[in-house]
Amino acid sequence: MFKTATFFRIAEDFVLPPVEALEEALQKAQFLPCGATQPESSGWVPPRGNKSTVLVEAVGRQAIMRLCTERRPLPSSAVKAAVEERIERYKQETGYERVSSKVKKEIKEEAILDLLPRAFTKKSATTLWIDPVNKILAVDSGSLAGADKVVSALVEALSEIQSSGPGIMARPVQTAMSAATAMAHWLSSRDAPVGFTVDRDCELKMPDDQKSTVRYSRHTLEIDEVAQHIASGKVPTQLAMTWNDRVSFVLTDMSQVKKIKLLDVVLDGVQDKGKDDDGFDTDAAIVTGELSALIPDLLEALGGEMVGGESTPQTEAPPGSSTDTGKKPVIES
């Protein structure tokens, strides 16, 4: 269900609206395919798949939704060729040697409208999970911009619900220590945080124009060479880890988790798929249950969460670490 997760903190006083009200709001913004001259279309689709028409799936006291986006990407080379051809035709028809920027803009818009109906569409869907008890929202996206788009669609849907209560006020989770600083400390000291182990995959990158990169795959990281790369200035951008022998994942320098995988100890004994034939309910309950427990431990490992611009550290920052106090966008309902 979740292979990647970008985490948001939601307002303490936010209360999830009744499922029926949220379902009605999402039905008003359900997905419709791109029109012939429409470059992009977004809307809500059933998280359970095409066999269902329900747009909000309740898992305990939580909710799961999915936003679908369809695009008609146009190759820049095709647009450029069409514009140049039209400009030459315009010069011949008018006798003008020069074409104003206004006319060029109009020609480009016409060329795009002409090309769009012939462009192939690409469709993608992104899952969103709201945990109103622990005040966490997770989006199955490795891009903050992509996650913001999904959250903005949710905010718009919530605004359609009358008397929906306090706004969701979603903001990317911020920690006292940057993930890059923490990963560098764990690798250099060969000391993983409590409850976690460092696995055998890692990426280190020099933060300069050259972006020199070193990658280790299925390789022990408890070697002097890794520490030497960090000492020379390379920054960890990805690090494979395991939490409590239950969930493996890759932590990024943007504090996102990728390649989420539930391990055998979690899946052993899970035979009953639950009330549904496709296993959605069971899968959703297991995944959200594991993530609900993993997230607090991960935040603690990164020095504690930043709340209102101030840190609430639960562990001491390692020597030489720095805190990230840069403000990130807040998405309000």
For 198-248, the pLDDT digits (tens) are 999 999 999 888 889 999 999 999 999 999 999 999 999 999 999 999 999
Instruction: Pick the range with the lowest mean pLDDT from 40-49, 96-105, 303-312.
Output: 303-312
d(CA 248, CA 241): 6
Q: Which residue has the tokens 């539930």?
A: 262
Q: What would the mean pLDDT of 59-87 be, rounded to a whole number?
A: 91
Using 50, 70 and 90 to split pLDDT, how confident is the model at 332?
low
**pLDDT value, residue 327:** 46
- For the chain, the helix, strand and coil percentages under 3-state DSSP, each to the nearest 5: 30, 25, 40
Using 50, 70 and 90 to split pLDDT, how confident is the model at 256?
very high
**pLDDT value, residue 322:** 40
**pLDDT value, residue 95:** 85
pTM of this prediction?
0.80
**pLDDT value, residue 73:** 87
Highest mean pLDDT among 81-90, 139-148, 154-163, 242-251: 242-251
Residues in Cβ contact with 102 at an 8 Å cutoff, skipping those fewer than 6 apart: none
pLDDT > 70? residue 163: no
Nearest CA among 123, 141, 150, 109 for reference residue 50: 123
**pLDDT value, residue 118:** 86
Q: What would the mean pLDDT of 68-72 be, rounded to a whole number?
A: 93
Nearest CA among 174, 173, 164 for reference residue 14: 164
d(CA 247, CA 237): 20
